[in-house]
């Protein structure tokens, strides 16, 4: 049996999550997202990392937030919302696929640190393949976030995963870090 800490929740986005989002979008967009979210952290005491979850809030339910937070912390809830990041020891957040869902639902399009790829490359990427330099339509790198993966997008701006940039003789290769096909391949 795994022992779990109580879940800890706050209204809005935690500072580490807001900092991660600055790699991909504007402070204005992050502010809009802060107004509509509750961020929760859950950690198995047997593991050195925690999971970050976000739950979006409907405007009509904002008055119920204090009761909801009290309920979460007293009822030994383990997870709530969509997993958006993993926080390993050292506080460098690793984005999860749920972050792409939250951004899409909030209609926030990445404006930095992304790669748009051809249709064929997007299909192959969702099967776990890397992106070759010739398949990259547009590449936007945020120099401040070189240690973070880029968001990989289809030609139509659909987010399909994360990748790490690797320079080659032919240009830039994008190594597949995590893609939406992972759900099917992993059996989750």
Q: What is the pLDDT of residues 41-54, one digit of tens each?
A: 776 656 666 778 88
Q: Does domain 114-186 have CATH number 2.30.130.10?
A: yes
**Predicted pLDDT of residue 117:** 98
Regarding beta strands 114-117 and 136-140, do their DSSP bridges make them parallel or antiparallel, or are they unpaired? antiparallel
**Would you list the domain boundaries of the chain?**
8-105, 114-186
Which residues does residue 82 pair with via DSSP β-bridges, in sequence order? 54
Minimal CA–CA distance to 88: which of 40, 48, 130, 45? 48
**Which stretches in the chain have pLDDT values below 50?**
1-4
Task: State pTM to two decimals.
Answer: 0.83
The burial of 3, by beta-carbon neighbours within 10 Å (0-12 exposed, 13-18 middle, 19 or more buried), is given as exposed
74 contact partners, CB below 8 Å, separation of at least 6: none
Phi and psi torsions of 170, nearest 5°? -90, -5
Which tokens go with 110?
């990445």
Specify the pLDDT at position 81: 75
Neighbours of 111 (CB within 10 A): 12
Q: How far apart are CA 139 and CA 142, in angstroms?
A: 10
């Amino acid at each position: 049996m795994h022992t779990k800490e109580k879940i800890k929740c706050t209204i809005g986005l935690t500072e580490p999550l807001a900092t991660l989002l600055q790699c991909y979008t504007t402070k204005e967009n992050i502010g809009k997202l802060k107004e509509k979210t509750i961020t929760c952290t859950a950690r198995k005491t047997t593991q050195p990392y925690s999971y970050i979850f976000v739950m979006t809030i409907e405007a009509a339910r904002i008055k119920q937030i204090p009761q909801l937070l009290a309920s979460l912390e007293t009822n030994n809830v383990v997870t709530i919302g969509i997993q958006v990041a993993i926080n390993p020891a050292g506080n460098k957040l690793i984005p999860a696929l749920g972050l792409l869902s939250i951004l899409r639902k909030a209609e926030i399009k990445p404006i930095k640190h992304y790669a748009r790829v051809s249709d064929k490359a997007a299909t192959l990427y969702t099967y776990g393949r890397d992106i070759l330099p010739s398949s990259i339509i547009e590449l936007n790198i945020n120099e401040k976030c070189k240690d973070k993966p880029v968001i990989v997008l289809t030609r139509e701006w659909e987010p399909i995963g994360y990748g790490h940039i690797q320079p080659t003789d032919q240009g830039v290769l994008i190594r597949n870090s995590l893609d939406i096909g992972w759900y099917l391949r992993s059996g989750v």
